Structure 1
Amino acid sequence: MIHGVINVYKEKGFTSHDVVAKLRGILGQKKIGHTGTLDPDATGVLPVCLGKGTKLCDLLTDKDKTYRAVMLLGTVTDTQDSSGEVLEKKDTASLTVEEVTACIQKFVGNYEQVPPMYSALKVGGKKLYELAREGKTVERKARPVQIHSIEIMEIDLPRVTMEVSCSKGTYIRTLCHDIGEKLGCGACMESLLRTKVSRFELGDSLTLGEIEKKKQDGTLMEAIIPIDAMFPECRSVDVKEAGNQYLYNGNPFSLSFVKKREKYEPEERVRVYDAQGVFVGIYRYRQEEKMFRLEKMFYEK
């Protein structure tokens, strides 16, 4: 079984679940998970976790992301993107580049965003998009999101191409919708490309076809990022043979079991390896106890 993370380029028309299903067939293993959905019409970076790497899914879902989006002003749809049913069209002839630019920049920072009805969020055990398809609309609470930056790449009214860096849970089509409301003309998202998720960038992503080719020619492992490489900010700690059993059971262990004694900061996170050099998990150093306590286990017997 392959363990780690692979940077997949999700092509248009695929759901994130489709990508996982196809990868299971290509790689011949069931234990695969994605790190947050991309709409079928959206393209770009989708980190996919493999084997023991599936324990990273929740950690990667929480990471900041960067998108390149085309916003279409003057058109409002039920899905907030151009694939939906048009609800309203307004003239944008009176808009100026300066007015649009100023409005967009006002969304940088923290803002309360109401999730769209066509989304995978659940209300009462049912996904919002399922309710929307039944013609139902339910009240959604606004959620705090953070827009770190918006770089306007091109304005060719009624279209605006922009690169958005944002926190987890941000809906770019809702951002487009909200900008349109502020401008008084409405808007929807015409296209979306995710260019970055944490350390995963567009230039390093591989299509399913490219992954399949690498599998066939024996070079696939070159594209797999090992689990421990996902924590480059953490120092490594190697444990003596006598400490192995503590690690495998997820128990805390003292400095006396560490091969190379160093000074550790209070609450410092470290990558811990057993006596054979196998990565076990992420631990945190408790200064008052002089012990390392497990934070995230990746070892499996």
Structure 2
Amino acid sequence: MPVYVTDKPLRLTSHDVVARARRALHTRRVGHTGTLDPLATGVLVLCAEDSTKLVQFMEHDTKDYLAWISLGAGTPTLDAEGPVSEERPVPTLDHPGVQATLDTFLGPQMQVPPQYSAIQVNGQRAYAAARAGEHIDLPARPVQLHELTLLGLHATTDAAPHTFSPDADGRWHPDPAGQTFTLPPTLGDHPTLLVWARVGSGTYIRSLARDIGAALGTTAHLSGLVRTRAGRFGLQDAVQLTDLEGAAGLDDLAALDLPTIPATPDLALKLRQGKRPAWQDTGRFLVTLDGALVAVADGDGHTLKVVRAWN
């Protein structure tokens, strides 16, 4: 079965989306390539049946987001699920100063995950402990932030743009003629940053909102989040969950963002036998790099095996 790019609706968990996909696709074997919180919307890539084997190659892809960060109010969940548990004054801010602060987060970072997250510590989910009133010291984890662009500084989240379009590079910007996104109800009228972000796998935008607020001398929470891209898949490629049944989807080879080697019958046989043959051919199909992952297409042009190739 193919790979499907879906647009996760507001208030559904990623598990909810998988459950609905199982019914629509008439299979129990459905996985996704990166969790979205219930109050987030946007790109959620689903892999069905044998395509679930591709999740391991796609879950580490970079991801793009539109993020609304409300300043002056903190919440236990770090998002608009609330309630507001801390309030602090917001200093006077300007666009250049906020952008300079955002720039300090670029590159490799150590990030503390939210207390309300699915991370396991000693066999216990952090969110389960948080709901029981317990606090777990979650260790900081390495993340990579590639781009953070301030699109606007607004008096409230409701006053910020909600309608956007992508440019040729996949970066989204406010556009009254574009796509309108629904955000969760706000927790009050708080100054709000509108940020476009490109981040590496494992980055919590909720934690980033918390840390940006602290760097600006206040507290903050994430009041809205839209994932506009996951790996090679943009929001414009997504289908609605209601249209998933009968959707064409993508086959495995088209879904993987990897160089492709067309396998000769001899190479395909050796790979099926678990051997590691050398790739000697030159010419337009010479795509190997030392230790790089490549997709090797079998004789039918679709069946594939992902291998680590060496010159």
What's the TM-score, normalizing by structure 2? 0.80
Q: Deviations over 1:149-195 (max 9, x none)?
A: 11111111411111111111111111111111122221111010000
- Paired residue for 1:292? none
Alignment partners' CA distance in 2, 1:262 and 1:145: 34
Return the alpha-carbon distance in structure 2 between the equivalents of residues 114 and 50 of structure 1.
32
Counterpart-to-counterpart distance in 1, 2:223 and 2:300: 52
Mapped pair 1:104 → 2:109? no
CA contact (8 A) 1:273 1:281 kept: yes
* Residues 145, 170 of structure 1: 8 Å contact kept: yes
| Aligned partner of 2:240 among 202, 207, 210 | 207
Residue number in structure 2 paired with 1:238:
263
Q: Structure 1 pair 275/163, CA: closer, same or farther in 2 (3 Å)?
A: closer
Is 16-25 or 82-91 further displaced after alignment?
Answer: 82-91
Change (3 A) 1:160 1:49: same
The question of whether the paired residues in 2 share the 8 Å contact of 1:235 and 1:269 is answered with: no
SS of match in other structure, 2:109: strand
TM-fit CA distance, 1:226: 1.2
**1:27 — aligned with what?**
25
Structure 2 partner of 1:69: 67
- In the alignment, which residue of structure 2 is the partner of 1:280? 304
| One-letter amino acid of the counterpart of residue 165, structure 1 | R
Distance verdict in 2 for CA 1:17–1:266, change over 3 Å: closer
Query: Does residue 248 of structure 1 match 2:272?
Result: yes
Structure that is richer in helix per residue:
1
Cα distance in 2 between the residues matched to 1:273 and 1:128: 41
The amino acid that maps onto 1:162 is V
Q: Which one of 182, 190, 213 corresponds to residue 180 of structure 1?
A: 213
TM superposition shift of 1:280: 3.1
Out of 44, 58, 61, the position equivalent to 1:60 is 58
Report the CA distance between 1:228 and its aligned residue.
1.2
Conserved 8 A contact 2:61-2:231? yes
Partner of 2:143: 145
Give the counterpart of 1:37 among 21, 30, 35: 35
Q: Distance between the aligned counterparts of 2:206 and 2:29, measured in 1?
A: 31
Q: Aligned ranges for residues 286-297 of structure 1 at < 5 Å? A: 286-287=310-311
What do residues 92-123 of structure 1 show as CA deviations (whole Å, max 9, x unaligned)? Answer: 2x422244333223222222211111001110
Quick one: distance in 2 between partners of 1:266 and 1:200? 24
Give the RMSD, CA atoms, in angstroms.
2.4
Report the secondary structure of 1:225's partner residue: coil
Question: 1:183–1:33: structure 2 CA closer, same or farther, 3 Å change rule?
Answer: same
Q: Which residue number in structure 2 is paired with residue 132 of structure 1? A: 130
| Aligned residue number for residue 164 of structure 1 | 197
Which gives a bigger RCO, structure 1 or 2 (Cα 8 Å, sep 6+)?
2
Q: Which residue pairs with 1:293 in the alignment?
A: none
* Counterparts of residues 9-20 of structure 1 (less than 5 Å): 9-20=7-18
- Structure 2: segments with no counterpart, 5+ residues: 156-190
In the superposition, the TM-score normalised over structure 1's length comes to 0.83
For residues 45-103 of structure 1, the C-alpha deviation after alignment (integer angstroms, 9 at most, x for no partner) is 001111211111122111111110100000011111121221111232x4222443332
Higher mean alpha-carbon deviation, 99-108 vs 171-180, is at 99-108
Contact conserved, 2:65 with 2:196, CA < 8 A, in 1?
Answer: yes
Tell me: CA distance 1:285–1:196, structure 2 relative to 1, closer, same or farther (3 Å). Answer: closer
Contact 1:247 1:274 in 2 (8 A): no
Q: Per-residue displacement from partner, 1:240-284 (whole Å, max 9, x unpaired)?
A: 2x665433332334669x9x9976756465433444545230234
